[in-house]
Structure 1
Amino acid sequence: MALRPIDNALPIPPERPKKQAKVSIPIQKKPSECGVKDENKAPLPPSENRDASVDYISSENLKPFQDPESNIHSLVEGLDSKDWIKVCESLNDARRYSLYHSTLLLPILEKVMLVVVKAMKNPRSALCKTSIMAASDIFNAFGEKLLDSTDSGAFDQLLLQLLLKASQDKKFVCEEADKSLTAMVKSIAPLPLLQKLRGYVNHGNLRVRAKAAVSISDSVSKMGLEEIKEFGLVTLLQMAADLLNDRLPEAREAARSIVFSVHKAFTENEEKNPEEAWQSLCQTNLSPIHAQSMIKVIASH
């Protein structure tokens, strides 16, 4: 007996197609990507070779030129080079001129300073450090002539870059910039230098403030009362009072040093009751809180 089809039976769904298995195809790297030298490719020029090394020559190991007059022209060309290694070599030559042939470098000193500033801004650490070393030798060789024989803008740019480099995280660059700032303080008279530094104690970068405060402190320690008065005794007190509340310990310690230097110069010239005269000076020219801070600093010394 034949069975009758059931009209209400559910339709059988179609069979799902099977997924195709993924096949991983290895990608062959180019020789340059896997560290293998391509013999058919021309080698990179020195300016593009990241592994090119730069020697950091100490000032003591720099030698004078045998014929400095003829080399001065190639120095200018080298400083203008687009090859960063060539610029490093030329900066070292500029250091040699600073140390041994400064009279020949003096006519182009401003140009050299601008190249030094530009090199400090370069992201290559080797070029940056070499330029900072050049700045140190220029400070030691020319001192206050930098302020007299060059445009003030060139010196201002150099000072700002040194403060910024001394404030960054790369230790070997930071340490070199600190050395250069020290050379600057030693070679330039306090009064004109303080005029350049005073604006940076209000800089938005707290590290720059601290580095400027240290340089100010080192300069003030070299000053007598007459020089302090010429700059502004009250100005220095107010500057130190603000820095005593700075966020960085380096700035606060520099402020304490400024207070000690001003206090010493002031009291040594007071024959009667020098400490009372000091307290009166602070209370007259500072807010009560700041005056009390000054008195506490001296009391803790």
Structure 2
Amino acid sequence: MAMALRPIDNALPTTPERPKKQAKVSVPVQKQPDSGVNDENRAPLPPPSVDATVDYVPSENLKPIQDPESNIQGLIEGLNSKDWIKVCESLNNARRLSLYHSSLLAPLLEKVILVVVKAMKNPRSALCKTSIMASSDIFNAFGEKLLESTNSDAFDQLLLQLLLKASQDKKFVCEEADRALNAMVKSMSSLPLLHKLRGYVSHGNLRVRAKAAVSISNAVSKMALEEMTEFGLVPLLQMAADLMNDRLPEAREAARRIVIAAHKAFMEKEEQEAWESFCQTNLSTIHAQSLFKVVSSQ
């Protein structure tokens, strides 16, 4: 006799079994040998440190060029080369030409200045330093003629880059830029230089303000009262009074030197009472008092 089957309507539903999670498998990747060729799917290799391959030749050790006429023909091409070492070599040739063959370099001076500015912006420290050294030799060789032989904008770009490089953290670049700024002040008349520098004492970068203030104080120390008056003795003293409240000690010390130089020049023509009267008449009481304090503390 056949057995009756039990209905399964009331049976508990069964939970479907979850699929097993697949285990992660580490597949070793064989490191590809460096063939020196950049794969388009790989980041390019960082450039090797090459500063040691560049010679930073002091100006006094530079020698004249044997055949300057031939060298000058390829100078601009070398300066615009994509090979940065070639650019450094051309910058050193520009230095030699400026010191020993300046008449040949003069017609190309503006083009050279623009390349110097471009090289200063380069992240390679060797190229940056070589270009700063080139600017020092150009200042020493051409002096006043630099403003006459170049577009005003080219000189302004050069000045800004030197102030920026003198304000950065890389010590050997900063020191080289300081030397270039000193060469600029020594080789050029103070009056046109002050007009170029005056805008930078209100620059947003406090280090740039300080470096500009130092250059201004060095330029003012060379000036007679007549030149200061031509520039504007009141604006000069006002500038110094403002800088004495600057955040950086370097800027404040430069401001003190400006006041002392202006007072010394003034006293060669006038008496102390005239100095005090001049300051009280043309400056605010607070600024006049700060100038008097500087002079009395000498």
* Both structures adopt the same fold (TM-score exceeding 0.5): yes
Provide the rounded CA distance (Å) in 1 between the counterparts of 2:241 and 2:284: 10
Provide the rounded CA distance (Å) in 1 between the counterparts of 2:269 and 2:63: 48
Query: How many Å apart are 1:9 and its aligned residue?
Result: 5.7
- In structure 1, the residue matched to 2:18 is 16
1:292 aligns with one of 289, 293, 296: 289
Query: How many Å apart are 1:169 and its aligned residue?
Result: 2.3
Unaligned residue ranges in structure 1 (runs of 5+): 42-47
Query: How many Å apart are 1:86 and its aligned residue?
Result: 1.1
Unaligned residue ranges in structure 2 (runs of 5+): 40-45
Distance 1:297 1:9, change over 3 A: farther
Query: How many Å apart are 1:38 and its aligned residue?
Result: 5.6
Query: How many Å apart are 1:199 and its aligned residue?
Result: 1.5
- In structure 2, the residue matched to 1:87 is 87
Instruction: Specify the SS of the correspondent of 2:74.
Output: helix
- 1:151-190 alignment to 2 at 5 Å? 151-190=151-190
Provide the rounded CA distance (Å) in 1 between the counterparts of 2:201 and 2:16: 81
- In structure 2, the residue matched to 1:254 is 254
Distance 1:14 1:153, change over 3 A: closer
Provide the rounded CA distance (Å) in 2 between the counterparts of 1:253 and 1:189: 23
Instruction: Specify the SS of the correspondent of 2:265.
Output: helix
Q: Deviations over 1:131-175 (max 9, x none)?
A: 111000000111111012222222111111111111222222221
Provide the rounded CA distance (Å) in 2 between the counterparts of 1:21 and 1:111: 66
Q: Deviations over 1:15-59 (max 9, x none)?
A: 433333221112223222xxxx569x9xxxxxx954443222221
Give the share of equivalent positions with the same residue, in percent.
78
Query: How many Å apart are 1:224 and its aligned residue?
Result: 1.8
Instruction: Specify the SS of the correspondent of 1:168.
Output: coil
Instruction: Specify the SS of the correspondent of 1:196.
Output: helix
Provide the rounded CA distance (Å) in 2 between the counterparts of 1:13 and 1:231: 95
- In structure 2, the residue matched to 1:117 is 117
2:28 aligns with one of 21, 26, 51: 26
- In structure 2, the residue matched to 1:210 is 210
- In structure 2, the residue matched to 1:232 is 232
- In structure 2, the residue matched to 1:44 is none
Provide the rounded CA distance (Å) in 1 between the counterparts of 2:267 and 2:238: 18
Provide the rounded CA distance (Å) in 1 between the counterparts of 2:54 and 2:214: 31
Provide the rounded CA distance (Å) in 1 between the counterparts of 2:22 and 2:147: 78
Provide the rounded CA distance (Å) in 2 between the counterparts of 1:261 and 1:71: 45
Provide the rounded CA distance (Å) in 2 between the counterparts of 1:270 and 1:150: 39
Distance 1:226 1:300, change over 3 A: same
Query: How many Å apart are 1:13 and its aligned residue?
Result: 2.7
Q: Deviations over 1:45-92 (max 9, x none)?
A: xxx954443222221221111111221112122122222221111010
Letter in 2 for 1:24: S
Is 1:133 aligned with 2:133?
Answer: yes
Is 1:63 aligned with 2:63?
Answer: yes
Is 1:148 aligned with 2:145?
Answer: no
Is 1:282 aligned with 2:284?
Answer: no
Letter in 2 for 1:124: R
TM-score by length of structure 1 reads 0.87
